[in-house]
Structure 1
Amino acid sequence: MKYNRITIALLFCFAFTFLLSAQTENLQTKVIDGKEFYIYKVKPSEGFYILSHKFGISQEEIIRYNPAAKNGLKKGQLLMIPTNKGVNKQDSEPEIESTFEHTIVRGESLYSISKTYKVPIRSIIALNPGSERGIKAGATLKIPQRYQKPEKQSIPLVQKDTQTAMNTADSEVLEDSLNGTSNEYVYHTIADGETLFSISKRYDVDIETILKLNPGISPTHMKKGSVIRITPDTKELNVTIEPKQLYTEYKVRKKETLYSISKKFGTTVEEIKKCNPNIKQIKQDDIINIPAGIEYNTVTAENPITSAEINNIYNKLYKSDKKGVINVAVILPFMLRQSSPDTKASLYTEYYQGFLMAVDSLKRQGASINVYAYDSEESESTVRRILSDPILKEMDLIIAPENDSHIKLIADFGLANDINVVNTFSLK
């Protein structure tokens, strides 16, 4: 009896379905966020190839729900395997949240915010009715996570200059999309209690990558409401099971109170009391627990990364070989060669004077900082000459001017030499 290819394929599918059912009927299952998973214990010599055929899923899907398996499987390791029972296609492929929140900073406009995140102003207004009439510092805006071409709809009346900025920004976003530069990052707004570890697990991205993409954050500086960047090829994983409060030990100093300590560590008296349920009053030399974020554990045989290990990653990434000395270069158009510097140059000079005052304050607190000032003269050739100075490769930080072409030159130099580069003047 002869079988054609379609018949053989159907017989294979029926046999595979029966075999899979027999292998999984005795496995424990768990429902997390409306999705059902098998809890499977890896057997000796089992690898991704065997498990992929056993459960009918790809290696990538196994790793998606089990980030700890990225470096290989281990005997006895617990895995979460999606059962795909009663789950539609949309649920089986969790997507990044469609919006995130941006806290408005003084001086920002809808135009500058749209340029920052490469989304059309129209999309921001659609999510934030009334924002076309003006925005205020300290307020929050919903920002679309990924740009989708908006449907034709009536746009609220706006002032002429705002409408012009909208048209300009929207056309630039579309141009970026055609050139493949749109959606460069996924953005995440830090929530209360989140840590580097919990965010890394949520998006299945390693902590070092998050730190590299966001030089302003650290294990001890995770400000609620701040927006950070995540690599664009991540899927948000909603497989957290149980939050765990982390804390650090602190020795009470003379005349300190719970209130003064809470202000010192940026927390509240109530949060400190939660970490110290048996303490009603404190006195000098008492050892108390200070809240240090929340850690989310997933079903895995490996232990979650500890705070000490996260600090080691941060210190390794931003290590200093100069025994604690920090070198900072300030490259700004002071225009010192001009007989009478213009208003813009004067503002840069005032900024530099304020910067030196801040450095002096840090030095009085024990910091060791060397400052190197350079006049960029609004000239690209001058910037190139400054960057050719060998001492520039010893910098830990470079403050760059607002000129786009000069920023690019300095940023490329910083990337090549592992130097942080910031710009505090351009809203872009």
Structure 2
Amino acid sequence: MIVGCDALSSPTQSQTSYRSHTVQKGETVFSIAKKYNTTGKAIYALNPDARNGIQENGVLVIPAADIINSQSGAVRFVTHKVKRKETLFSISQQYNVSVEDIKRHNKQLYSKQLKKGEKLQIPIAVNNSGTETTTTTETTNSATSDTGKHVVKPKETKFGIARMYGISMAELAELNPNLGENLQIGTTLIVPSEKVTTEASVDTDRFSFYEVLPKEGFYRLKVKLGLTEEQIVAL
């Protein structure tokens, strides 16, 4: 993405400064918005091409005014004991930090699922005056206003709904921890407020369904379907 110099160097016009973000593997606009404590809508406004999808190593313009910059002050940690039905997403909302920030300071979460009773170290940014910066009304509203509701329609799938809102299947599960394996028509889901595409049903002319057999691993699936492990996970 090519961004004009004026867009990055004229904060006085809107009283907002900007910074750039290089997209990492597996990131979505929704996860990036949470990381910088902004909204998907704000990112799309600055990067309209992102509605067509973002690619690894692509560059996005982020409104820096919404960033909690830990380098501008100290960072302290609080210990959080995981309760029943809590998810990384719900915990991140409680402390107004990103899921990635929690994982960064609790490395086991990169390879293991969250467990009831587990103790996590949550980073809390503190500004130079000693005041915590994670509980302001502005940032809280920014986080909560980026989600909405979606009522499942006939022929819609989890994959299609996730694609519609520009998030991964894992993020859809984080937003809806009680979501079962089978998606029921009429179910109300928590989703990002901004749609990327208007179609959530799967095009049966381009896709077909395959039921994974018991004990069937990625190797056998790759041989049968002619897809890589990354392609299978993405679907």
TM-score (norm 2): 0.32
Bigger CA radius of gyration: 1
TM-score (norm 1): 0.21
